[in-house]
Every structure is written in C-alpha cells, then in structure tokens.
Copies of this chain bind each other. A is one copy, B any other.
Amino acid sequence: MSTITALSTTDVRFPTSRELDGSDAMNTDPDYSAAYVVLETDAQDGLEGHGFVFTIGRGNDVQAAAIQALAPFLVGRNVEKLLGNMGTTWRWLVHDSQLRWLGPEKGVMHMAIGAVVNALWDLKAKREGKPLWALLASMSPEELVDLVDFRYLSDALTREDALEILGRALPGRAARTEELLAKGYPAYTTTPGWLGYSDEKLSRLAAEAVKDGFTQIKLKVGADLADDIRRLRTARSVVGPDIKIAVDANQRWDVAEAIEWMSHLAEFDIAWIEEPTSPDDILGHAAIARGVHPIPVATGEHCQNRVLFKQFLQADALQVLQIDAARVAGVNENIAILLLAAKFGVRVCPHAGGVGLCEAVQHLSMFDFVAVSGTTEERYIEFVDHLHEHFVEPINVHSGAYWPPSVPGAGTQMIAQTLADFEFPNGVEWANDLALSGALSMNGNAGTTEA
C-alpha cells in the first residue's frame, strides 16, 4: 500500500519562435511549451508518474496553476486505489461539482485533468512494467469499457457497442502485436511544411522525407493563396505523384472561404484538408466536407472533448479524426474517442509534434491497432522532428514508421536537466536572454493587430 506524496508542476518553455519551427497561418510565433506535472509516491519502487499539457508559450503558467489546483485531489490518496480503478478516478476528477463549472470539460481545466490522468497512467504502466500501449492492449474488453464515461455519448455509442467493438478485435490481438513489432506503425511528416520555411528549405526537407521512407507529407496553408499554390507545386514536383500531400489551414478560414480556397489547391491531389475553420464548428466542417468532396476533411487536435467528437462523427463533418494526447482529459477520454471512431468506421490519424505529443500519442494508435480498430490502413501518426532529445524515451521513427516503445511507461517523461534548463523564466535557457527575446514583455509579441 502506498500514497501519493507530492504533485509538482514546472513551466517548461522552448524558445522555438526564434527559428519559426512550428509556424503556421494562425500560430505565427510559438514557443513550444509544457505545463509539466510529476506525481511522487512513498512506495519503495521510487517510480513517478509524469504528464503534461502542451501549449505554445504565454499562458503556460495558467495551465500549470490549473494542474496545481488538482493537488488536493491526489496528495495523500492511496495509489493502488487510484490506479486500480482508473474509470472511477477519471470521473471523480472530471465531474467534481465545483471545478466542472470552469469548463465544463473543456479548456484549461480539462487539459489540466488530462495531464494528471496521463501521469497516473504513466505511473500505472511503469508499475506494471509495460509500455502504455501494451498495458492497454492487455486489458479485457470489460476492463477497457470501465475506463470510459458514456455520459453524453449514449445516443451514438453505448457500453454494449463498445464491448462488441473490443470483443471483435480480441482474437486478433496477438497476431497484430507481432505485426506491429515487425512493421511499426505508419507515420507521415510535417517537418518540411512549416509556413515560415523558404521554398529551398521546403524542397530539401520534402526530398529528405521521401528518402526517409515517408509516404505522406503535410504543408501548412491558408495565409496567402499564391504562396500556397507555389509551395504545393514545388512540393509535388519534388515528391512525385505517388507521395501523398496533406494540407493544414490551422483554423484560418470561414466556411465559404475554405471551399473557395481549396478549389484552387485541388489540382495538387490533396490527401486531406486539416482544420479548415474553427475547431468548434461541427456544422461548418460538415458544409466544408460537402463542398470540397472528395478531399477528406481532418480535424481534432483542438477538439475539446468526446461530446464534440461524437457530433463531428454524427454529422459526417470529418473523414480523418485527429486525436491529441494532451487536449482532452487524458488516456481515458481518448479511448472513448477511439471507440467512437471505430463505431463510425472513421480512420484516426493522430496530431503530434509540439512537445512530447509524438512520444505520448503513439501509444494510443498502437493500442487502437491491436485492440480496437484492428487496422492501420490509410492511418498515419504525425511526425515532427522537434524536441525529442528532451525525453527519457524519445520516439523511434525510421523507414516511415513509428517503432513500438518497449520501456515501461506512457512516454511522457522529460529529462531532468531539460526541466531545470528550460524552466520559465528562471532556467538558464531563458534567464540569460529574456530581455532579448521579449517573452515577458508584450513588445512586438502580441498575436494580431495591437490595440
């Protein structure tokens, strides 16, 4: 029997805006950041649970404060009881009668719960000596559905539906695990396509992507139509006709504008249009999907919870569902979303990149392949080659695939030195040149038109 003795948070930020890595039509100057949480226990094993919310700079302190607000829920609690029934633990955190007013189930408070839930899963996987994907894939269908909160889902997915989906996949689990270990899980790369990159850099990185075995790349679009056409022509000429090219507008357009803009890009054989408009606009995405057909619409990285995903599926508003490891309330809610996607027969291609999103989300796709959807057909996990060196178990991506992690845990643990060096604003990476970067002042740092 052991007890949680501490919940600590760190505001970790990487000065990525200096290089325009991660730049797109909406996110012009991101400083990739993590509101990071560590759970400690008094157990002799010395194991900790690590989790985080990914943000892009300002507000990372608010996100960390929200995680800290969950300390009274966990510190002093029995670890075995918390981890032994993660469904109950999830509901206890998400449905707290006072905290839920701050969402409900969306935004800063919901993501904070996600970080803590993921840290608990990290601890649980470490205790059981398994990587998270294998831990989840070893659980029975009944144990898995117990993790899911079906509240607000029952008009689209019931507990019985979920049991049927998981039961159907049960016999093939062993064979698919072998297949996963032998072939990896398909990846696509966004590395060439950031909006701030020159055409020369785009060409070079696109060629490297093909050489590295990727069969799909993704380009950011939406700031300037002429630029988009030129960059797509460049990319297509470099990769040839057999490599897929997806595009991502990062919520830049209204409905009519999205349809019009995409009509000019269709000639480049677009694999999907991602985030054409507000991530909240289910009916707008449905209209866009009809308007850009047969180009599939992809969205999900900013989708706030399972209730929105349910409606996107009900309305046929997305054809590619992009889960994110750190947007919703953690592993449990993502399992609900994977089950919804399976029920509606829609493919899941996770959003990744950021800080640690690749490390975390790969577990969910691998679990999905082994125990839920049973397929990797036309499915890819996003790959962005940023910041992996800061993780204790960085992703292993080569030959166009993610290779399954074998180390116990959820992949969410950063190197201790990174936490110290990039702590904002006191870590050495910030303290030395904060005046220069302007990250604490608003001079030249505000997003759009200044007042």
Contacts and interface: CB of A to CB of B under 8 A. Distances in A.
Nearest to A83: B451
Nearest to A76: B442
Contact of A280 (B77, B307, B314): B307
A109 interface: yes
Interface stretch (A100-108, A130-138, A216-224, A364-372): A100-108
Contact of A97 (B28, B109, B112): B28
Interface residues on A, range: 35 or more
A96 B58 contact: yes
A291 to B, nearest CB: 11
B61 A101 contact: no
A308 interface: yes
A44 interface: no
Contact of A154 (B57, B62, B255, B451): B255
Interface in A136-190: 151-155
Contacts of A305: 280
B97 A279 contact: no
Interface string A55-78: 111110111011001001100010
Contacts of A314: 283
A95 interface: yes
Contacts of A154: 254-257
A204 B3 CA distance: 50
A48 interface: no
A154 B260 CA distance: 14
Interface stretch (A84-92, A345-353, A391-399): A84-92
The 10 closest A-B pairs by CB, nearest first: A107-B107, A97-B447, A108-B108, A57-B98, A96-B447, A58-B98, A155-B255, A152-B278, A280-B307, A65-B65
